[in-house]
Amino acid sequence: MQVGLVGYYQEQTSKDSGTGANDLRPRRNAVGVQFDYPIPSHGLFLKFAAYGETSASDGATKGSLLRMTIVKAF
């Protein structure tokens, strides 16, 4: 088993185009924790993470993110 800190940073790198487009380039970042649980007998890894967004600007909204990933080795 493993537990660790995780995070992300997102930023729109180009302007929107088309009808109704604006010049905003939303960005946000988050910090969280991830828990990995291996099941070697089945060649599986279960990964769970929870993030809390710490900032959001230029039209982005703040929120939370829960993620579950299943990895199967062949």
pTM, rounded to two decimals: 0.72
* Position 35 confidence tier, pLDDT thresholds 50, 70, 90: very high
With a cut of 90, say whether residue 13 has pLDDT above it. Answer: no
Q: Average pLDDT, stretch 28-41?
A: 95
Q: Of 9-18, 28-37, 41-50, where does mean pLDDT reach its minimum?
A: 9-18
- Determine the Cα–Cα distance for residues 6 and 48; give it in Å rounded to an integer: 11
Burial class of residue 47 in the structure, from the number of CB atoms within 10 Å of its CB (0-12 exposed, 13-18 middle, 19+ buried): middle
Report yes or no: 51 and 62 within 8 Å, Cβ to Cβ: no
With a cut of 90, say whether residue 49 has pLDDT above it. Answer: yes
Task: Find where tokens 């599986």 sit.
Answer: 44
Strand, helix or coil at 52?
A: strand
Q: Average pLDDT, stretch 11-30?
A: 86
